């Protein structure tokens, strides 16, 4: 009979701790977001820095990808890669 009490008590504590962990994680992540993203936003506004300047893009250009020129590998490049 005592084992049923302890089993129920254990299950209740487990559910309570899961709820508590969820609340604490939400609060901590909210604070990190507010101070991390919020402070960078405030600093960008104070310094008048535009992090995403979308006015520079030319609408006539189809793509801004740059084609990489691939050269044939040789053994000297493999030895001197670092």
Paired tokens of 61: 């250009």
Backbone angles phi, psi at 72, to 5 degrees: -70, 125
pLDDT tens digit string along 22-79?
999 999 999 999 999 999 989 988 998 887 767 777 778 777 787 777 777 777 777 7
Contact 46, 53 (CB under 8 A): no
What is the pTM (predicted TM-score) of this model? 0.50
Contacts within 8 Å (CB) and 24+ apart, 23-31? none
Residue whose token pair is 């979308």: 54
């Amino acid at each position: 009979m005592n084992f049923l009490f302890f089993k129920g008590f254990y299950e209740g504590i487990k559910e309570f701790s899961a709820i508590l962990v969820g609340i604490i994680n939400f609060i901590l992540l909210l604070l990190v977001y507010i101070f991390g993203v919020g402070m960078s936003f405030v600093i960008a506004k104070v310094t008048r820095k535009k992090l995403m300047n979308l006015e520079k893009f030319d609408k006539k250009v189809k793509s801004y990808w740059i084609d990489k020129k691939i050269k044939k590998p040789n053994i000297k490049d493999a030895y001197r890669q670092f």
